Amino acid sequence: MNSLLKPTSIESCALCPRACGAHRAFGDSGVCGAADALKLARAALHMWEEPPISGERGSGTIFFSGCPLKCVYCQNHEISTGNFGIEVPAERLVEIMFELQDQGAHNINLVTATHYAHLLPHAVSQARAQGLAIPIVYNTSGYERVEAVAELGDVVDVWLTDYKYASDELGRELSHVSDYPDVAERALVQMCKEIERRGGALSDADGMMKRGTIVRHLVLPGHADDSCAVLDRIWNAVGDVPISVMNQYTPNAAMRVAGGLLSRAVTTEEYEQVLDHADDLGFTTMFWQEGGAVDESFTPPFDTTGVLKPSA
């Protein structure tokens, strides 16, 4: 099988399902906003992931700049579409992993790394060889190529993946892609296959996930029916996988100005409809958020914390 994640793969980029063909190796930017240089926005402990990810000490999150999706309601818009971040050499990624491990991180959490996936096999291999001992979490929008997931199967220990929509129309309207549901489903199936190939889900005595998959879904205001359809697709595709149903949607400035459904928070009734449906389907491991979760504390400050090498 030809490698999708080879060093030359960004000469005509096809890392994500858009396969935009941008000549990133020669300085052109892809739809994701990335060119040839690695750009990071933040690297720090994060306490607001699911309990098996954040634990008591925090998840060692590394936020990559840019994103293959263009979600109109994105809470991380400064880095996903705003091109915020600092360019660093690829070797810096390995150093950051060790700095986070030294801070007590339960894991290394690669947030929206899809468009830099060609750097990950070598970086993680180098880190493991030098003594990195905590799991690698791949925190993704779910919009992934099956081939890339397969090649990352021995690199990634925990897949923390979104499943945003069951409707093609919603994907087009809100994330500017026409094929999100089917792409996300195929990617999820492959993620679960990779975990099974390595021996199945694994947690330690404290309940921290060492290997496995968690599927996230953010309930959007006015779209509870689609959220229920998302849960149907997850159940039918991979069965009783751990899910995280979130009600933390917070309208960004653009959504507040635009008005309409996405200018408000999710109602209690909408959220309970989705949670009840998850129960009815039979999901046995479900993370959910209590009322009042709409809070910008879930979005860390993108201030380049931890990106540059500390001064001696």
The pLDDT of residue 291 is 65
Both tokens of residue 101? 């491990």
Q: Are 61 and 92 in contact (CB under 8 A)?
A: no
Q: What is the pLDDT of residues 216-240, one digit of tens each?
A: 999 999 999 999 999 999 999 999 9
Q: What is the pLDDT of residues 4-51, one digit of tens each?
A: 999 899 999 999 999 999 999 999 999 999 999 999 999 999 999 999
Q: Are 68 and 19 in contact (CB under 8 A)?
A: no
Cα(88)–Cα(9) distance, integer angstroms: 19
| Cα 146 to chain centroid, rounded | 15
Cα(280)–Cα(224) distance, integer angstroms: 15
In sequence order, the 6+-apart residues with CB closer than 8 A to the CB of 194 are 149, 150, 152, 153, 156, 159
Question: The whole model's pTM is what?
Answer: 0.96
Local structure of 184: helix, strand or coil = helix
C-alpha distances (whole Å) from 4 to each of 18, 22, 58, 126, 153 are 14, 15, 32, 19, 13
Cα(274)–Cα(30) distance, integer angstroms: 36
Q: What is the DSSP letter of 40?
A: E
Q: What is the pLDDT of residues 59-80, one digit of tens each?
A: 999 999 999 999 999 988 778 8
Q: What is the DSSP letter of 107?
A: S
Both tokens of residue 80? 């996903």
The pLDDT of residue 292 is 54
Mean pLDDT score of the chain: 94
The pLDDT of residue 102 is 98
Residue 2 has pLDDT above 80, yes or no: no
Local structure of 229: helix, strand or coil = helix
Q: Between the CA atoms of 41, 39, 111 and 2, what dihedral angle is there, to the nearest 10 degrees?
A: 180
Both tokens of residue 187? 């990617």
Q: What is the DSSP letter of 267?
A: P
End-to-end CA distance of the chain: 45
